[in-house]
Amino acid sequence: MNKAHAFSLSGCALLALPSGALFLPDHGTLCVSDLHLGKSERMARRGGALLPPYEVRETLAKLEADIAATAARRVICLGDSFDDLNAAAALPEDERLWLIRLQAGRDWIWIQGNHDAGPVDIGGTHRDELALGGLTFRHIAETGATAEVSGHYHPKHRVAGAARACFLYDRARLIMPAYGSYTGGMSSRDAVFDALIGRPAIAVLTGTKAIPAPL
């Protein structure tokens, strides 16, 4: 955990992990956003680009490692966990069982996203949003909200010519990076973030180490 970035939001202690996961140590809770499991299957089904069908296994392996490293008792999947509901239904059996094993003995919460608007039959509980530790967890940021953790936008920040998925936070809210493989991103300098993230603000770059940079 020495490669994580420690900060707080509305008095809640948080750790931004290099993987793009968020850990709430006082609550034993790991939060990940925008896994987009099944993206390669969905794109092939809809006649899009053919991608190597490995993104589900890569994402689940990363998630398993983060759960083990944090000993998380609760996992929040902050929306768009599946690329669509058909992709959830089409998960190969070994990947479905892997996901069920990760859920075993933990409080597992699926927050509804815009890609997966509806329950999936893979355990856990389904919520529109969740209040925990003085924060509200939802998929898409709401204008004027405070003490909010959200995802959806897949922010990326460019430093020295290289763009990395990043966390964005100010005094009022945190926007999570996309956790899944094969997910694109939106520049941290896009106008959509000007309307959501105040100043001063920090971008926390993911990679081998979580690196904070002024926005």
Whether residue 177 has pLDDT greater than 70: yes
Vertex 17, ends 71 and 14: CA angle to 5°? 80
Whether residue 47 has pLDDT greater than 60: no
Cα–chain-centroid distance for residue 209? 17
Judged on CB neighbours under 10 Å (0-12, 13-18, 19+), 140 is middle
Q: Give me the pLDDT at residue 50, please.
A: 41
pTM of this prediction?
0.91
Whether 76 and 111 have beta carbons less than 8 Å apart is answered as yes
Total residue length of the chain: 215
What total of structural domains would you count in the chain? 1
Q: Give me the pLDDT at residue 162, please.
A: 82
> For 51, which DSSP code?
-
Distances (CA, A) of 48 to 11, 40, 43, 146, 169: 44, 9, 5, 38, 34
Structural domain containing residue 31: 5-214
Whether residue 46 has pLDDT greater than 50: no
pLDDT digits (tens, 9 = 90+) for 5-40: 999 999 999 999 999 999 999 999 999 999 988 654
Closest C-alpha among 55, 72, 57, 86 to residue 21: 72
Mean pLDDT of 183-202: 90
Residue-wise DSSP of 187-199: ETTSHHHHTT--S
Report the CATH number at residue 80: 3.60.21
Q: Give me the pLDDT at residue 48, please.
A: 47
Distances (CA, A) of 51 to 40, 59, 121, 146, 184: 5, 15, 25, 38, 13
Neighbours of 116 (CB within 10 A): 26
Distances (CA, A) of 73 to 27, 57, 76, 82, 191: 8, 22, 10, 22, 37
pLDDT digits (tens, 9 = 90+) for 130-166: 999 999 999 999 999 999 999 999 999 998 878 899 9
